[in-house]
Amino acid sequence: MQKQIMKAYLLTTILVGLYSCNSNDDFVTNSTEAAAQFKVVNVTNHDGRPFSTGKLTNIPSGRYVENPGGGVMMQAFYWDVPAGGTWWNVVNSKITAWSNVGIGAIWLPPVSKAQNGPFSMGYDPTDYFDFGNFNQNGTVETRFGSKTELESLITKVHAENMQIYADMVLNHNSGGQLENNPFTGTQTYTNFTGVASGKFKRTSADFYKNAYGNNDEGIFGGFPDLAHVAPNVQDWLWKRADGVGKFYKNTMKFDGWRFDYVKGFGAWVIKDWNANVGGFSVGELWDSNVNILNDWANNANSSVFDFACYYKMNDAFDGNNLNVLNDDMMWKRNPYKAVTFVANHDTDEIWKKELAYAYILTHEGYPTIFYRDYEEWLNKTKLNNLIWIHNNKATGNTSILYTDNDEYIARRNGYNGNPGLVVYINNSSTWQERWIQTNWVNAQIKDFTGNSGWYPRTQADKWVKIQCPPNGYSVWSINM
pLDDT in tens, 328-345: 999 999 999 999 999 999
Question: Residue 12 burial by CB count (10 A; 0-12/13-18/19+): exposed, middle or buried?
Answer: buried
Contacts of 398 (CB under 8 A, 6+ apart): 332, 363, 364, 410, 411, 412, 413
Q: Which residues of the chain have pLDDT under 70?
A: 1-62
Q: Is 341 helix (H, G, I), strand (E, B) or coil?
A: strand
Beta strand residue intervals within 316-386, DSSP E: 338-341, 366-370
Last-in-domain residue among 348, 368, 396 = 396
Q: Quick one: pLDDT at residue 480?
A: 74
Q: What is the CATH number of the domain that holds 353?
A: 3.20.20.80
Q: What is the CATH number of the domain that holds 432?
A: 2.60.40.1180
Q: 270 and 283 in contact (C-beta within 8 Å)?
A: yes
Selecting among 167, 206, 260, 447, the annotated active-site residue is 260
- What 3 state SS string does 316-332 have? HHHCCCHHHHHCCCHHH
Selecting among 284, 295, 327, 433, the annotated active-site residue is 284
Same domain? For 257 and 383 the reply is yes
> How many whole angstroms separate alpha carbon 28 and alpha carbon 22?
10
Same domain? For 98 and 14 the reply is no
Q: 466 and 423 in contact (C-beta within 8 Å)?
A: no
Contacts of 406 (CB under 8 A, 6+ apart): 320, 322, 426, 427, 428, 432
Annotate 213-251 with b (16+ C-beta within 10 A) or e (fewer): eeebeeeeeebbbbbbbbeebbebbbbbeebbbbbbbee
> How many whole angstroms separate alpha carbon 287 and alpha carbon 199?
34
Catalytic annotation on 260?
yes
Same domain? For 22 and 101 the reply is no
Same domain? For 295 and 234 the reply is yes
Catalytic annotation on 364?
no
Q: What is the DSSP letter of 73?
A: E
Annotated binding residues, written as ranges, equal: 171, 235
Q: Quick one: pLDDT at residue 54?
A: 30
Q: Quick one: pLDDT at residue 16?
A: 32
Q: How many domains does the chain have?
A: 2
Same domain? For 293 and 309 the reply is yes
Same domain? For 363 and 416 the reply is no
Same domain? For 313 and 445 the reply is no
Q: Which domain holds residue 376?
A: 73-396
Same domain? For 442 and 387 the reply is no
> How many whole angstroms separate alpha carbon 97 and alpha carbon 92?
10
Same domain? For 404 and 382 the reply is no
Count Cβ atoms below 10 Å from residue 393 Cβ, excluding itself.
28
> How many whole angstroms separate alpha carbon 20 and alpha carbon 456?
10
Same domain? For 216 and 288 the reply is yes
Q: Quick one: pLDDT at residue 221?
A: 83
Q: 204 and 191 in contact (C-beta within 8 Å)?
A: yes
Annotated binding residues for Ca(2+), written as ranges, equal: 171, 235
Last-in-domain residue among 359, 378, 396 = 396
Last-in-domain residue among 396, 418, 434 = 396
CA-closest candidate to residue 387, choices 411, 414, 360: 360
Same domain? For 296 and 381 the reply is yes
> How many whole angstroms separate alpha carbon 198 and alpha carbon 244?
13
62-98 pLDDT, tens digit per residue, is 478 888 999 999 999 999 999 999 999 999 999 999 9
Same domain? For 204 and 335 the reply is yes
